[in-house]
């Protein structure tokens, strides 16, 4: 297995802040892993993700993708190789669903036929009938449907690495469960490496082959879901695990 993503002592601070948003972080992710990142608001999850596709540059340290130091690679090239799903979905409102999904293939100047075939393939994959949805505009879709189009757009050029920042944050729990399962099936069928940010411990433990738990710019634990539950590294992780268990007790009342 290749090393897909490697952080070597990476630090990022923002002007005006007394502490580092990401603080001397090192880790290695193997190709094909599904890594979830869990932590409270403001702990540095988005900052970490944005350094992988060079939307932010680290102050110190190195980031390697498949062994290559990304600071030496053209920014545009780095980004086109990486799928990125942002929390706010970010579809272009004046461009059709099909056009949104075709964005990167068009930038890469794929043949029209190849792009069309890819758009139809992806719409089918995410459960939206191409004939019905391809020529609609984003505003003519529900939030959950837009979210899926965002996922299709990120997958379009078949990137080896997928970054997803709370992709299901604003979606109802029924659709969310279905999208989680769809994404897990996608992951099983493709040799892709996922970095998936979430606020939700259940989502993190369900989706992740391993889970990164962050607090105040630091990684507290990077481990399998099973090991995090059975051996939480410190008080913060313990309280996260306990918060999920408290929910279970809540449901007991209705049995």
Ligand X SMILES: Nc1ncnc2c1ncn2[C@@H]1O[C@H](COP(=O)(O)OP(=O)(O)OP(=O)(O)O)[C@@H](O)[C@H]1O
Which residues sit at the interface with Mg ion, rule CB under 5 A? 46
State the Cα angle at 143 between 134 and 39, rounded to 5°.
Answer: 125
Question: Residue 67 CB, nearest distance to Mg ion (Å)?
Answer: 28
Of ligand X, Mg ion, none, which one sits near residue 42, judging by CB under 5 to 8 A according to partner kind?
ligand X
DSSP string for residues in 141-161? S-HHHHHHHHHHHHHTT--SE
Nearer to ligand X, 16 or 93 (CB): 16
Positive/negative CA dihedral, 157, 163, 169, 174: positive
Contact between 14 and ligand X per CB under 6 A: yes
Q: Which of 18, 41, 173, 189 binds ligand X (CB under 6 A)?
A: 41
Closest CA to 159 of 90, 85, 62: 85
- Residue 6 CA to residue 64 CA, distance in Å, equals 5
Please identify, among the stretches 13-21, 100-108, 172-180, 241-249, the one whose residues bind ligand X according to the rule CB under 6 A: 13-21
Task: Please list, in sequence order, all residues whose beta carbon lies within 8 angstroms of the beta carbon of residue 33, skipping any fewer than 6 positions away.
Answer: 4, 193, 194, 209, 210
Nearer to Mg ion, 33 or 166 (CB): 166
Contact between 92 and ligand X per CB under 6 A: no
Q: Give me the 21-40 binding string for ligand X, x by CB under 6 A, dash otherwise.
A: x-----------------x-
Nearer to ligand X, 17 or 189 (CB): 17
- Residue 130 CA to residue 79 CA, distance in Å, equals 27
User: Considering only residues 46-75, where is the footprint of ligand X by CB under 6 A?
Assistant: 46-47
Task: Please list, in sequence order, all residues whose beta carbon lies within 8 angstroms of the beta carbon of residue 88, skipping any fewer than 6 positions away.
Answer: none
For residue 47, how far is the Cα from the chain centroid?
13
Nearer to ligand X, 39 or 150 (CB): 39
Contact between 44 and ligand X per CB under 6 A: yes
22, 24, 185 from 180: Cα distances, Å: 27, 31, 9
Question: Residue 52 CB, nearest distance to ligand X (Å)?
Answer: 12
Nearer to Mg ion, 25 or 97 (CB): 25
Nearer to Mg ion, 53 or 145 (CB): 53
Q: Which residues bind ligand X (CB under 6 A)?
A: 14, 17, 21, 39, 41-47, 199
């Amino acid at each position: 297995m290749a090393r897909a993503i490697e952080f070597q002592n990476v630090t990022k601070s923002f002007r005006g802040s007394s502490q580092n948003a990401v603080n001397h972080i090192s880790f290695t992710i193997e190709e094909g892993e599904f890594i979830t990142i869990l932590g409270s608001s403001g702990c540095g999850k988005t900052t970490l993700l944005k350094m992988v596709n060079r939307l932010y540059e680290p102050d110190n340290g190195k980031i390697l993708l498949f062994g290559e130091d990304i600071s030496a690679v053209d920014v545009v090239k780095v980004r086109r190789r990486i799928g990125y799903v942002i929390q706010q979905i970010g579809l272009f409102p004046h461009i059709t669903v099909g056009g949104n999904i075709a964005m990167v293939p068009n930038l890469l100047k794929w043949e029209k036929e190849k792009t069309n075939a890819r758009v139809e393939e992806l719409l089918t994959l995410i459960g939206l009938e191409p004939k019905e949805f391809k020529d609609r505009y984003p505003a003519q879709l529900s939030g959950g449907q837009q979210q899926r189009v965002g996922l299709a757009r990120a997958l379009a050029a078949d990137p080896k690495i997928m970054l997803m920042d709370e992709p299901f944050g604003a979606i109802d729990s029924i659709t969310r469960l279905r999208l989680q399962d769809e994404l897990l099936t996608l992951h099983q069928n493709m040799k892709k490496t996922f970095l998936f940010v979430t606020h939700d411990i259940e989502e993190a433990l369900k989706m992740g082959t391993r889970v990164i738990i962050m607090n105040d710019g630091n990684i507290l634990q990077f481990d399998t879901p099973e090991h995090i539950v059975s051996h939480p590294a410190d008080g913060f992780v313990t309280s996260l695990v306990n918060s999920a268990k408290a929910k279970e007790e809540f449901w007991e009342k209705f049995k």
